[in-house]
Amino acid sequence: MSTLLGDVVTRLFTDRVSKELIESAEKGAWPAALWREIEEGGLTMPLVPEARGGAGGTWLDAYAVIHAAGRHAVPLPVAETILAGWLLSRAGLDVPEGPLTIAPVHLDERVRLTPVGSRWRLDGTATRVPWGRDAGHVVVVAPSDAGTVIGLVAGNGATVITDRNLALEPRDTLTWSDAEAVAAATDLPADVAWRYGALVRAAQMAGGLESLLAQSVRYATERKQFGKAIGSFQVIQQNLALLAGHTAAAGMAAAHAFRCAERGDAWFDIAVAKTRVGEAAGLGAGIAHQTHGAIGFTYEHSLHFTTRRLWSWRAEFGGEGWWAAELGRSVARDGAEALWPKLTAR
Amino acid sequence: MATFRFALNELPPEAEGLRAEVREFLRREVSGHGAKGRSDSWSRWDPEFSRKMGARGWIGMTWPKQYGGHEKSALERYVVLEEMLSAGAPVSFHWIADRQSGPLLLRFGTEVQRQRFLPAIARGELAFAIGMSEPDSGSDLASIRTRAEKVDGGYRVNGTKVWTSNAHRSQFLIALFRTRVVPDKKHEGLSQFLVDTKTPGITINPIIDLTGEHHFNEVVFQDAFVPEDMRVGEEGNGWRQVSTELAYERSGPERYLSSFALLRAAIADASKEPGERAAVTIGHLVAEMATLRQMSLSVAGMLQAGENPNLEAAVVKDVGTTFEQEVPEALHALLGLEPRIDTGSDLGQALGFVMQKAPSFSLRGGTREILRGIIARGLGLR
């Protein structure tokens, strides 16, 4: 199913996500028509069971959509909505229509969900919430003694201080004071938002790297210097082959982590993916810009739609240094002889 | 632009069952070797070990039973390879024959050649070397000049091969010779031959590597006679055959596991609660290795499906050997440990061993520059 789905989303994004659309989103416009098409195409709920109005798909279906959204720099909370829908489903809550986001997105931030009769109240502040101002609803994650509580609160229940990341995607501070919510306790890990946030960013970045490779190869075959296409020079060929290697590695690491998410505990594979893809993002952005020369440094050219996203996404939900340290500690704790059996069991 | 086809691959249950069996075998056969010994897996010559593997049915696994093979899948073979290499087993004796020479004979050899050589290879009794490079022909392999002139009943060979690993202790080598000189068409007129290393007119001279070890040789042919029935494939078909052979050579797990024993020793050396720098280094290297295993498995899946993963194999080898070379550099930066030859700690010796071997990782089986050229061609740049 995920291959077919990949074709569908690629066609939709290729047709609809133009340079003009991304530029207008960067100025603050919400691309409502595109959102409607994505939502009506059933692309926002791959991880929501059919009984709850979703597509009842797998994490690999989610990968196909999120990867394509990254590849096309879709200026919408596609990944966040998919993740939020999954969290709600795991909590046995209904998934509302419209764009969703998740909060908090930092490990050290906590919000409070308090049961009041059959309802819940939400208090607290979350910073850098992706698309906070645009979300129809926010899915909040609050660790508690009874397990990890997943709550749903209307987007207009928060006061919003707007901000943005390098790619001019909204990253807002939301504050709730005695806001009305529905919620339920789950057996999900306390760091579920952070962990799966890292997973979806890895897929977006893997898609972004494919875009960088395609743009760079195209430019190298079109741009002529010294009387020939610059891609005919060995040094450019070597650089682009290196970019291709990082792109392939990133795609493999991200896809494998999604497969592991489908099987169960994917912490190890998410740590691998966020580390490896994050490293590829920095190196890949460097090669893509070097290949494009000065024109790629202009706002006029579209290369930066991807590179600015990669520079932000690799830091969100833990940079590669943070995840590498966690992964290294985990491997050392398990002992050297456990590593190979662990790798072959994935 | 061509797209790379790195699809997720999953090993079948029978391959996982086999894994347990291989691990049990390795626990008995390879335990006790230190990190330095285990770093030296596919250049360690151990005919007895190869015979034990042959008896287990782990050489020539995918070949037809009529030629001594076992008709297993390429993925089952992959599991045996990755377990052998990750354990640091001494697989050098049968490695080339199992990986390249056997498959080549199976595909292009005569029935007589298959009957004569394949069962002995599968039993782990027959070692092969590869005669490709020459003093003036390295990356530009098609420029080779060693001549095989047609004479009565066979060919008379004159010329020199170099970097011929294990020629001094292998019974046979499969060599690429020029049977016809076609002006301005260097890829034509090449043919492959089975050559008995004891043939009169062949002199094998050692080439000592920078560690002082003898793996490489120079093989000199002076009017050496090779019988007609030892030609592999049609006369003039050599370039196509060699290209097929190089795909086998580039796609296996040996292209990312060369430094694994060193990495494992460094992890063992770190405490259960490593400091921040050690944790970041280990995590970074493990992330790369875990990703490479999935990439390598993906290529194995393509081979099993009968596809031609030349491009993907080049990517895995390029990324894989870069990782193999990064391991000793990253551990040097982290540990500040003096690399040693045969004194001091086992970790220091493993570091010294891998550090000195590392330059060869991105040379053997096609240099990094050649591989990136292949990738660039795949991208449509040339």
Residue A1 has pLDDT above 90, yes or no: no
Q: Do B280 and A321 touch (CB under 8 A)?
A: yes
Q: Which helix (H) or strand (E) holds A313?
A: helix A303-313
> Which pLDDT score is estimated for B292?
97
- Residues B259 and B366 placed together within one structural domain of the fold: yes
What residues of A are in contact with residue B270 (Cβ under 8 Å)? 332
> Which pLDDT score is estimated for B363?
94
Residue B3 has pLDDT above 70, yes or no: no
Contact between residue B352 and residue B335 where contact means Cβ atoms under 8 Å apart: no
DSSP E strand boundaries for chain A:
100-103, 112-116, 119-130, 137-144, 147-154, 159-161, 171-186, 224-225, 228-229
| Catalytic option among B82, B249, B254, B312 | B249
> Which pLDDT score is estimated for B2?
53
Mean per-residue pLDDT, B193-204: 98
Q: Do B283 and A336 touch (CB under 8 A)?
A: no
* Parallel, antiparallel or unpaired: strands B128-131 and B172-178: parallel
- B 168-187 residues inside an 8 A Cβ radius of A: none
Domain end marker among B105, B127, B149: B127
What residues of B are in contact with residue A241 (Cβ under 8 Å)? 318, 371-373, 375-376, 379
Query: What letter would DSSP give residue A120?
Result: E
Q: Do A328 and B381 touch (CB under 8 A)?
A: no
Q: Do B283 and A238 touch (CB under 8 A)?
A: no
What residues of B are in contact with residue A335 (Cβ under 8 Å)? 267-268, 272
Mutate one of A63, A238, A331, A342 to test the B interface: name it (highest B CB count within 10 A): A331
- Residues B245 and B365 placed together within one structural domain of the fold: yes
| Residues 6+ away with beta carbon under 8 Å from A15 | none
Residue B5 has pLDDT above 90, yes or no: no
- Residues B325 and B223 placed together within one structural domain of the fold: no
pLDDT digits 0-9 by tens, A186-200:
999 999 999 999 999
pLDDT digits 0-9 by tens, B113-154:
999 999 999 999 999 999 999 999 999 999 999 999 999 999
> Which pLDDT score is estimated for B4?
79
CATH topology (fold) of A192-344: Butyryl-CoA Dehydrogenase, subunit A; domain 3 (1.20.140)
Q: Cα–Cα distance between B248 and B365 in angstroms, integer?
A: 10
> Which pLDDT score is estimated for A41?
93
Q: How many structural domains does chain B have?
A: 3
Query: What letter would DSSP give residue B343?
Result: S
Q: Cα–Cα distance between B50 and B89 in angstroms, integer?
A: 10
Q: How many CA atoms lie within 13 A of B36 on its CB side?
A: 16
pLDDT band at A86; cut points 50, 70, 90: very high
Q: Which amino acid is it at A311?
A: W
Residue A216 has pLDDT above 70, yes or no: yes
The sign of the dihedral angle between the CA atoms of A186, A187, A193, A199 is: negative
CA distances, A24 to each of A29, A39, A99, A168 (Å): 6, 20, 18, 11
- B 266-305 residues inside an 8 A Cβ radius of A: 267-268, 270-274, 276, 278-284, 286-295, 298
> Which pLDDT score is estimated for A4?
84
> Are A2-186 and A192-344 equal in CATH topology?
no
> Which pLDDT score is estimated for A122?
98
Query: What letter would DSSP give residue B230?
Result: G
> Which pLDDT score is estimated for B17?
92
- The CA distance from B189 to the nearest CA of chain A, in Å, is 29
Task: Give the three-class secondary structure for B185.
Answer: coil
pLDDT digits 0-9 by tens, A251-292:
999 999 999 999 999 999 999 999 999 999 999 999 999 999
Residue B193 has pLDDT above 80, yes or no: yes
Flag whether residue A338 sits within 8 Å of chain B, measured between CB atoms: no
The size of the A-B interface in CB pairs under 8 A is 169
Mutate one of A217, A222, A252 to test the B interface: name it (highest B CB count within 10 A): A252
Per the model's pLDDT, the better-predicted residue between B133 and B42 turns out to be: B133
Q: A222: exposed, middle or buried (C-beta count within 10 Å: 0-12, 13-18, 19+)? A: exposed
Flag whether residue A225 sits within 8 Å of chain B, measured between CB atoms: no
Q: Cα–Cα distance between B274 and B297 in angstroms, integer?
A: 31
Q: Cα–Cα distance between B297 and B286 in angstroms, integer?
A: 16
Q: Cα–Cα distance between B315 and A241 in angstroms, integer?
A: 8
- The CA distance from A242 to the nearest CA of chain B, in Å, is 7
- Residues B160 and B267 placed together within one structural domain of the fold: no
Flag whether residue B341 sits within 8 Å of chain A, measured between CB atoms: no
Mean per-residue pLDDT, A154-173: 97
Mean per-residue pLDDT, B233-241: 96
pLDDT digits 0-9 by tens, A282-331:
999 999 999 999 999 999 999 999 999 999 999 999 999 999 999 999 99
Residue B246 has pLDDT above 90, yes or no: no
- Residues B146 and B195 placed together within one structural domain of the fold: yes
Query: What letter would DSSP give residue B183?
Result: T
* Parallel, antiparallel or unpaired: strands B172-178 and B154-161: unpaired
* Parallel, antiparallel or unpaired: strands A137-144 and A100-103: parallel
Residues in chain A: 346
B84 within domain boundaries? yes
Between helix B346-361 and helix B310-335 the angle, nearest 10°, is 140
- The CA distance from B262 to the nearest CA of chain A, in Å, is 11
Q: Do A328 and B271 touch (CB under 8 A)?
A: no
pLDDT digits 0-9 by tens, B282-305:
999 999 999 999 999 999 999 889
What residues of B are in contact with residue A272 (Cβ under 8 Å)? 286-287, 290-291
- Residues B162 and B247 placed together within one structural domain of the fold: no
SS3 per residue for B85-148:
HHHCCCCHHHHHHHHHHHHHHHHHCCHHHHHHHHHHHHCCCCCEEEECCECCECCCHHHCCCEE
- The CA distance from B78 to the nearest CA of chain A, in Å, is 12
- A 16-75 residues inside an 8 A Cβ radius of B: none
Q: Cα–Cα distance between A173 and A126 in angstroms, integer?
A: 6
What residues of A are in contact with residue B292 (Cβ under 8 Å)? 249
| Residues 6+ away with beta carbon under 8 Å from B93 | B45, B46, B47, B49, B50, B124, B127
> Which pLDDT score is estimated for B308?
83
- A 302-321 residues inside an 8 A Cβ radius of B: 320-321
DSSP per position, A210-226: HHHHHHHHHHHHH-EET
CA distances, B307 to each of A2, B15, B255 (Å): 21, 20, 20
Name the residue of chain B whose CA is nearest to A280's CA: B288
* Tokens (6 digits) for B141: 């392999």
* Tokens (6 digits) for A190: 């306390």
- The CA distance from A328 to the nearest CA of chain B, in Å, is 4
- Residues B262 and B207 placed together within one structural domain of the fold: no
> Which pLDDT score is estimated for B153?
97
Query: What letter would DSSP give residue A102?
Result: E
Q: Do B287 and A245 touch (CB under 8 A)?
A: no
Contact between residue A242 and residue B373 where contact means Cβ atoms under 8 Å apart: no
Q: Do A218 and B1 touch (CB under 8 A)?
A: yes
Q: Cα–Cα distance between A83 and B56 in angstroms, integer?
A: 49
Cα A233 to its chain centre, rounded Å, is 35
Q: Do A238 and B376 touch (CB under 8 A)?
A: yes
B249 labelled catalytic: yes
- The CA distance from B233 to the nearest CA of chain A, in Å, is 34
> Which pLDDT score is estimated for A253?
98
- Residues B182 and B230 placed together within one structural domain of the fold: yes
* Tokens (6 digits) for B134: 């020459």
Domain end marker among B180, B206, B237: B237
Q: Do B265 and A328 touch (CB under 8 A)?
A: no
CATH number of the domain at B273, please: 1.20.140.10
CATH number of the domain at B65, please: 1.10.540.10
- Residues B87 and B20 placed together within one structural domain of the fold: yes
Residue B251 has pLDDT above 80, yes or no: no
Mutate one of A3, A61, A329 to test the B interface: name it (highest B CB count within 10 A): A329
What residues of B are in contact with residue A270 (Cβ under 8 Å)? none
- Which residue segment(s) compose the domain that B217 sits in? 130-237
Flag whether residue B331 sits within 8 Å of chain A, measured between CB atoms: no
DSSP per position, A54-93: S----HHHHHHHHHHHHHTT--S-HHHHHHHHHHHHHTTP
- B 349-378 residues inside an 8 A Cβ radius of A: 369, 371-373, 375-376, 378
Q: A315: exposed, middle or buried (C-beta count within 10 Å: 0-12, 13-18, 19+)? A: middle
Q: Cα–Cα distance between A110 and B217 in angstroms, integer?
A: 67
Of B6, B273, B287, the CB nearest to A276: B287
Residue B61 has pLDDT above 90, yes or no: yes
Flag whether residue A188 sits within 8 Å of chain B, measured between CB atoms: no
Q: Do B278 and A332 touch (CB under 8 A)?
A: yes
Mean pLDDT of all residues belonging to chain A: 97
Mean per-residue pLDDT, A107-116: 96
Mean per-residue pLDDT, A139-146: 94
Phi–psi pair at B146, nearest 5 degrees: -55, 125
What CATH superfamily classification does A2-186 receive? Butyryl-CoA Dehydrogenase, subunit A, domain 2 (2.40.110.10)
B1 within domain boundaries? no
- Lowest pLDDT segment from A296-310, B210-224, B238-252, B341-355: B238-252
Q: Cα–Cα distance between A181 and A171 in angstroms, integer?
A: 22
* Tokens (6 digits) for A251: 């795609």
Residue B210 has pLDDT above 70, yes or no: yes
Residues in chain B: 382
Query: Would you kindly state where each structural domain of chain A is located, as residue ranges?
Result: 2-186, 192-344
**Rg from Cα positions in chain B:** 21
B135 within domain boundaries? yes
Query: Is the bond preceding B119 in cis, omega lying within 30 degrees of 0?
Result: no
Q: Cα–Cα distance between B59 and B74 in angstroms, integer?
A: 12
- Residues B246 and B222 placed together within one structural domain of the fold: no
- Residues B254 and B155 placed together within one structural domain of the fold: no
- Residues B201 and B295 placed together within one structural domain of the fold: no
B183 within domain boundaries? yes
Q: Which amino acid is it at A123?
A: D
- A 243-262 residues inside an 8 A Cβ radius of B: 244-249, 251-253, 255-256, 259
Domain end marker among B184, B215, B237: B237
B160 within domain boundaries? yes
pLDDT digits 0-9 by tens, B169-192:
999 999 999 999 999 999 999 999
Q: Do B273 and A329 touch (CB under 8 A)?
A: yes
* Tokens (6 digits) for A321: 């240094």
What number of other Cβ atoms are within 10 A of residue B355's Cβ?
A: 18
Q: Minimal CA–CA distance to B106: which of B57, B59, B72, B64? A: B64
Residue A3 has pLDDT above 80, yes or no: no
- B 53-82 residues inside an 8 A Cβ radius of A: 82
Q: Cα–Cα distance between B216 and B210 in angstroms, integer?
A: 11
Task: Give the three-class secondary structure for B289.
Answer: helix
Q: Cα–Cα distance between A292 and A287 in angstroms, integer?
A: 9
Q: Do A328 and B284 touch (CB under 8 A)?
A: yes
Which residue's entry shows tokens 């682009």? A240
- The CA distance from B41 to the nearest CA of chain A, in Å, is 16
Q: Minimal CA–CA distance to B322: which of A182, A279, A269? A: A279
Query: What letter would DSSP give residue B379?
Result: T
B8 within domain boundaries? no
> Which pLDDT score is estimated for B1?
53
